Amino acid sequence: MPFISKDWRSPGEEWVKTEEGWEKKKILECGRQINGSAQDNMDTRCGTTALGTFSADLSFSNRWMDEEDKENMVTEESPPTDTLAIAQSISRGASDGTVKPHCHITIKCTREIAGFNGLSDAFKRLDFRNAVHDVRRFNYICKLLDLLISQKLTMLSGCAQKVLFNMLEEVAYQVSASQQNIHMLNKLLQQLRMMIDCACWGRPLGSTLLWEQHLRTINRILSIANCIEIREPGDDVFPKLQNLPEECVREVLLRLADHKDLESSGRAYSVMRRLVDEQRIWRELCQFHFTQQQISHVQGGQSPPHDWQSTYHKLRKAFGLREEYAEMIQLCRSCRCLFWKSIGHPCIVDQDPEFQEKLENVDKNTLYVPIPPQAFLKFFSL
C-alpha cells in the first residue's frame, strides 16, 4: 500500500551549514537543550587552556547554529490529533529548548515502515558528547567507544567517524580535568593506533581530506593525554589515604569491581598490599561478578576454596566479567525511543489518552528495557 500524504515523494531533509560541516536541521533542533551539569562541565573545560587549543564556545549544540538559523526555527506547532501526529510531533522536538535527549529508532522494517537508524544522528540526539562529563554515564560511553574503535571503525560512515573522534576528544578533556580513568583513555588510544596501523593497504578507508581532519583531532587528543599528570593532594589536605584506619581502607577495596584496580592498589603502600591478600576481598569480588552456580561449577562440588583469588581468575576466564553501569540507555516499548533513564523522554503515552487506558493494568517497569552497549550497536547497520 503506498504512503498517502500531500506529496507521495519524500520531502527531503533541511540542512544547515555549521562550523563542522553540513548538519540536518532537525538534529540541531533536538540538540539545543543542555542540562546544567553538562554546561558547568563545559565551562570548567574551557578554563583548561594550557591543555590544548580548545575554543571556549558556550556549548557544542548551540555553536552549530548562527542567529539566522535560530530565528528560522519553528516556534509553534498545532496540537496533534492522532497517534501518528503525536509521534511526528515528538520526533521533531519542541522548539522552546525543553526537549530531553532522546532518539526514535526503527525496530523492525515493514512494507509500511521502512526506516534506517543513523549512528551519528543517535549520538547527537542522545547528547553523548556532553554526557561524557556525567560520572554516571562515563563508563557506558567509554565502552561504546571501545567497541566501535576495536570492531566497527572501518564500517562507520564519515559523519559517524567525525562524531566518534569528537566524543573521544571530550573523554580526553574529562579525564584531564577529573584526574580519573586515565587507564581507560590510554586503552582507547592504544586501540585507535592499532586500527589505524592495520588499515587497508597501509591507509585508512575513506576520504583523504576527511582522514586528514581525523588525524588533526587525534593529534589534539594525544597532546591532551601526554599533558595529563596526576597531582597529589597538598600538605594542607587532611586526612590522606595513608591516614585512614585500616577498616576504612578495607571498605574502599571492597567497592572496587576490577581485579586490575585491586592489584594496582596493592602497589600503593604496605597497608593496602596486606589487605589485598585477604580472602574476603576476593570472595566478595567473586560473588559480585558470578552466580553461586558458576562458583560451584568451578569448585567441582567441593567445599569453599581456600584461595579465592585463583578461583576468581578461573571464573573470569570461564564466564567473563559482569558489566555494571551507573546509568544505561533505556528503550521505551511504547514509542520505540532510546533515552537516558535519569532524564526521561517525551513519551507518546503521556499525550495519548488511548495509550494510557491500555496501560492501566501494565507494570510500568516493564515498559522500559535497559540497553547494554553491545545491544545498542545492534540497532544500527554496522
Per-residue pLDDT at 280: 92
Residue in 102, 171, 161 with CA at minimum distance from that of residue 343:
102
Q: How far apart are CA 328 and CA 154, in angstroms?
A: 26
Asked if residues 66 and 46 have their Cβ atoms less than 8 Å apart, the reply is no
Cis peptide before 239 (omega within 30 of 0): yes
Q: How far apart are CA 283 and CA 299, in angstroms?
A: 13
Asked if residues 316 and 259 have their Cβ atoms less than 8 Å apart, the reply is yes
Residue in 139, 167, 170, 142 with CA at minimum distance from that of residue 46:
170
Alpha-carbon separation of residue 150 from 143, 145, 260, 267 (angstroms)? 11, 8, 21, 30
Per-residue pLDDT at 17: 78
Amino acid at 367: L
What is the distance, to the nearest Å, from the Cα of residue 323 to the centroid of all Cα atoms in its chain? 14
Domains of the chain: 15-127+327-377 (no CATH), 132-227 (no CATH), 241-319 (1.20.1280)
Residue in 176, 219, 215, 169 with CA at minimum distance from that of residue 196:
215
Alpha-carbon separation of residue 2 from 62, 110, 114 (angstroms)? 39, 12, 12
Residues of the chain with pLDDT under 70: 1-12, 20, 26-98, 108-115, 198-206, 301-303, 364, 382
Q: How far apart are CA 190 and CA 184, in angstroms?
A: 10
Would you put residue 203 in left (φ > 0), alpha (ψ -120 to 50) or beta?
A: beta
pTM over 0.75: no
Per-residue pLDDT at 329: 94
Asked if residues 136 and 342 have their Cβ atoms less than 8 Å apart, the reply is yes
Q: What grid cell was written down for 11?
A: 520531502
Ramachandran angles phi, psi of 271, nearest 5°? -60, -45
Asked if residues 108 and 382 have their Cβ atoms less than 8 Å apart, the reply is no
Residue in 304, 307, 325 with CA at minimum distance from that of residue 376:
325
Say whether 289 sits in a helix, a strand or coil: helix
Number of residues in the chain: 382
Q: What counts of helices (H) and strands (E) characterise the chain? A: 18, 6
Say whether 51 sits in a helix, a strand or coil: helix
22: part of which helix (H) or strand (E)?
A: strand 21-24
